[in-house]
Amino acid sequence: MSTEPDCRVGLEVAPWSYQVGREKIREFARVLGHREAWYYDREAARAAGFRDVVAPPLFAVVYGRWMEPLIMEPALGVDYRRMLHGAQEFSFGAPVCSGDVVTTTARLDGVSTKKDLTFFELSSVSLVQSEAGTALASEGRWTMIVRGGRE
């Protein structure tokens, strides 16, 4: 595997924000098969200690937009049609609830190649702004693989 230095490592794109909606949380929870009332009912969520209907932790893929703003950055030269999702992992902080605004920043941490595959290592930090203030919502680590190398 080649690990030659890449001048794009460290590249960050402008942060993006996502307004969390109650119905989007409900749809996401339903698709994942969650049955807990706090994903659907505001009063149940409040009774459980949340500010409003709470998003499942993996809702991070929604407000993180699958890192699209960074992946689509022209400087990376990624042919999106040849990209494979390699891996992702999250660490979670404060709960994200309906009405919150989540702002995500992303960065390219590494690029390596093996045969005709290019591996992009990415990271993200998402902060949740709510009436309670600003807190870490999640940190993500992502691996995207592009078949056929880079453009």
Report the CATH number at residue 103.
3.10.129.10
In a domain, 47, yes or no: no
Q: Going edge to edge, which strands form the sheet with 117-130?
A: 16-19, 101-114, 117-130, 133-147, 83-92
In a domain, 6, yes or no: no
For the chain, how many structural domains are there in total? Answer: 1
In a domain, 44, yes or no: no
Q: Of 6-10, 18-22, 86-90, 111-115, give the lowest mean pLDDT range.
A: 6-10
148: pLDDT strictly greater than 60:
yes
In a domain, 112, yes or no: yes
In a domain, 50, yes or no: no
What domain range is 141 assigned to?
Answer: 16-20+56-147
In a domain, 36, yes or no: no
Q: What digits encode the pLDDT tens for the residues 52-110?
A: 999 999 999 999 887 788 888 888 888 888 999 999 999 999 999 999 999 999 999 99
pTM: 0.88
